[in-house]
Every structure is written in C-alpha cells, then in structure tokens.
C-alpha cells in the first residue's frame, strides 16, 4: 500500500506523452491480435479489397488496444502492487485513471463502429463482444474471483482470428472456430508457465491464480493436461481447409516440443525449479510463444500456397 502511494505521487503531472497513451493499448498484446486477425482474414476462402482488409485489421487492433486500456483502468490497484505491472502508465503516475477510462471507451466505440462500416456487422459484433468479454467478464468478474480466470478469460484473446475471418466471409465457420480454440486452449499452459516463475506477484496482489489457490504442483499438472488436450486440436486443424502438409509438419514438430516441455514441467518440483531459477518453466514459456506464432504462420503459408494452387491436400 505504501508502495502505491509512493508511486502515484511521483509524476502525476496530467501531461502524459503520446507514448504513454500508446502504452495503454498494450502494444505487445496488440501485435498478437494484429497477426492472428490477419491470418484469419487471409486464410478465409473469400478475398477482400486490400484497403478494406488494412482498415479492418487496424480497427480490430484499436479495439483490442482499447480493451487493454480499460483493463488497465480497472486493474490499476493491483497493477500498483505487482512488480511486472508497476511500470504501466497509470501506476507510474503518467496517465490518470479517468483519462485511461475515457481513452478506452472512446476507442472501443470508434473501433466497433468503424469496423461495421468498413466490413460487416458480424465482424463488428464479434469485436464488440471481445471488448465486453475482456473488460467485463474477465477483468471485472473472473480475474479476482476464480482460479479458472485465465481459462475462460483466454477466450478474449482467441477472438481476433474469428473476427478476421468474419471480415472476409461475413460469418463464422468450423475453421474460424478451430483457430479460436487453438488460442483458447493454448492460453492456460502459456500463462501458467509464466505464473510459475513470476512467483509472488499474484499472491501479493490477491489475484486467485491457480498457483496461489491450488499450489504449484497442481499448476504443473494443469499445464500438462491442457497441453495434451491442445495437441490433437492443433494437429487436427491440418485436415481442414486452413491446413495442409506444411501446417501438419509444423504442428507435429511444435506439439511434440510443447508436450515434452509440459512433461518436463510436470516432473519437476519446486526445489529443482528454484535450484536452476525456473529454467525449464522460462524455456516452455518462450516455446509457447513460438508455438502460437508457428501455427499461425503455417496457416498463413498454406493460404499463400493455395493461391498458387499448391495448398491443402490436393
């Protein structure tokens, strides 16, 4: 608590720089949103005008960023406590909570309206639901209430490829739901691996993370179970219209590596982990980033190849 008051008194100038507002949009998360939405858009069987596609991706990115700003507004109290988030614009005293709220709300409404005008109402509706889900369902409700917060909340990060697909097709299909499921099932092991080595942060903030409520041993087991469930889904997507031989090869390699990592995490205990400063957990967390990037790059490759008549299973 004393940390919080110290931090807020340092630089509450009310004169934030442009970069401070940009930081509210969570640029790193936004880059993942842009990439997965772009893959969803390009993997769709229907083409869109490049300008419409560019505008749609931009508005999806802005909508995702706006939900990030609203999340920072709501979570400002716990962001002040956690080491990882102490440098964010609100706890650092660069942007006031009111400014962040106004900024997030304005961009949310603007991005949804502009996406509806640029593409269609299905895509805009999905974007609106994503923002609502991330801010209200995840941030306001689940995050501080249940250790399954990241499991259900992960859905918010899984929507972008579905929105990209809807921009092109105007609807929802098995393939877009599969892309959603891929991110949805990937989020828990990815985030729990991070929780294992960001040790005391969530405990101090009072966020009921699985590591806090069920212990580290159980978290390690959960990571393994989710990775096992994720593998057939990720590999199975190879046999749909977004997959093909290239995707299958990438999925087989990445899932084998991810499964091995999850087994390694499961077999370790805290004594071993502390002895090598969570080397395996950090390795698996990094691998999880390559895992998602690899799968979506493979989907993109398949879509590009099919443009030359080389995609799919012939």
Closest approach of other proteins to the CB of residue 22, in Å: 8
Spatial distance between the Cα atoms of 282 and 279, rounded to a whole number of angstroms: 5
With b meaning 16 or more CB within 10 Å and e meaning fewer, what string describes 205-234?
A: bebbbbbbeeebeebbbbbbebbeebbebb
Contact 194, 228 (CB under 8 A): no
Binding region for other proteins (CB under 8 A) out of 24-32, 44-52, 150-158, 166-174: 44-52
Cβ-based neighbours of 8, under 8 Å, separated by 6 or more:
80, 91, 93
**16 makes contact with other proteins (CB under 8 A):** yes
Closer Cβ to other proteins, 118 or 158, answer by number = 118
Helix axes 160-169, 27-43, angle to 10 degrees: 40
Tokens of 281: 């957990």
**9 makes contact with other proteins (CB under 8 A):** no
How many residues touch other proteins (CB under 8 A)?
17
Figure out which of the listed residues 21, 73, 247, 258 binds other proteins, where binding follows CB under 8 A: 21
Closer Cβ to other proteins, 23 or 142, answer by number = 23
The H or E element containing residue 251 is: helix 245-267
235-241 long-range CB contacts below 8 Å, 24 or more apart? Answer: 236/178, 237/175, 237/178, 237/179, 237/182, 237/295, 237/299, 239/313, 240/174, 240/175, 240/178, 241/45, 241/175, 241/312
Closer Cβ to other proteins, 118 or 292, answer by number = 118
Spatial distance between the Cα atoms of 182 and 36, rounded to a whole number of angstroms: 11
**19 makes contact with other proteins (CB under 8 A):** yes
| Per-position x/- string for 100-139, each x denoting binding to other proteins as judged by CB under 8 A, each - no binding | -----------------xx---------------------
Figure out which of the listed residues 58, 252, 263, 305 binds other proteins, where binding follows CB under 8 A: 58
**272 makes contact with other proteins (CB under 8 A):** no
**55 makes contact with other proteins (CB under 8 A):** yes
- Distances from the Cα of 190 to the Cα of 22, 56, 181, 196, 309, angstroms: 25, 28, 14, 10, 35
Closer Cβ to other proteins, 1 or 51, answer by number = 51
Contact 182, 145 (CB under 8 A): no
Contact 53, 94 (CB under 8 A): no
Figure out which of the listed residues 1, 51, 308, 314 binds other proteins, where binding follows CB under 8 A: 51
What is the dihedral angle through the alpha carbons of 272, 275, 280, 285, rounded to the nearest 10 degrees? 120
Closer Cβ to other proteins, 13 or 272, answer by number = 13
Closer Cβ to other proteins, 22 or 239, answer by number = 22
Binding region for other proteins (CB under 8 A) out of 53-61, 121-129, 237-245, 280-288: 53-61
Closest approach of other proteins to the CB of residue 13, in Å: 7
Q: Rule CB under 8 A: which of 200-259 touch other proteins?
A: none
Figure out which of the listed residues 6, 10, 12, 13 binds other proteins, where binding follows CB under 8 A: 13
Closer Cβ to other proteins, 51 or 271, answer by number = 51
**271 makes contact with other proteins (CB under 8 A):** no
Kindly list the residues in this chain that would bind other proteins in the complex (CB under 8 A).
13, 15-19, 21-22, 49-52, 54-55, 58, 117-118
């Amino acid at each position: 608590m004393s940390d919080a008051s110290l931090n807020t008194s340092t630089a509450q100038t009310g004169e934030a720089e442009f970069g401070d507002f940009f930081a509210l949009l969570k640029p790193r998360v936004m880059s993942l949103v842009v990439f997965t939405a772009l893959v969803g858009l390009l993997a769709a069987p229907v083409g869109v005008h490049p300008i419409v596609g560019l505008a749609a991706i931009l508005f999806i990115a802005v909508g995702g960023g706006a939900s990030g700003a609203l999340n920072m507004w709501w979570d400002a109290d716990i962001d002040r406590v956690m080491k990882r988030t102490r440098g964010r614009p609100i706890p650092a005293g660069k942007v006031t909570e009111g400014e962040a709220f106004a900024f997030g709300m304005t961009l949310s409404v603007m991005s949804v309206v502009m996406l509806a005008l640029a593409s269609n109402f299905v895509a805009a509706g999905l974007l609106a639901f994503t923002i609502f889900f991330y801010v209200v369902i995840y941030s306001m409700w689940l995050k501080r209430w249940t250790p399954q917060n990241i499991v259900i909340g992960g859905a918010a990060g899984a929507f972008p490829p579905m929105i990209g697909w809807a921009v092109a097709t105007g609807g929802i299909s098995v393939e877009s739901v599969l892309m959603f499921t891929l991110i949805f099932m990937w989020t828990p092991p990815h985030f729990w691996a991070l929780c294992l080595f960001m040790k005391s942060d969530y405990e101090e903030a009072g966020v009921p993370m699985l590591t806090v409520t069920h212990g580290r041993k159980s978290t390690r087991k959960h990571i393994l179970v989710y990775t096992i469930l994720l593998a057939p889904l990720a590999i199975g997507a190879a046999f749909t219209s977004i997959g093909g031989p290239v995707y299958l090869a990438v999925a087989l390699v990445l899932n084998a590596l991810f499964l091995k990592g999850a087994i390694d995490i499961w077999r370790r205990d805290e004594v071993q982990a502390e002895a090598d400063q969570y080397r395996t957990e950090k390795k698996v967390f990094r691998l999880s980033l390559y895992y998602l990037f690899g799968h979506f790059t493979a989907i993109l490759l398949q879509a590009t190849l099919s443009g030359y008549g080389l995609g799919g299973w012939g």
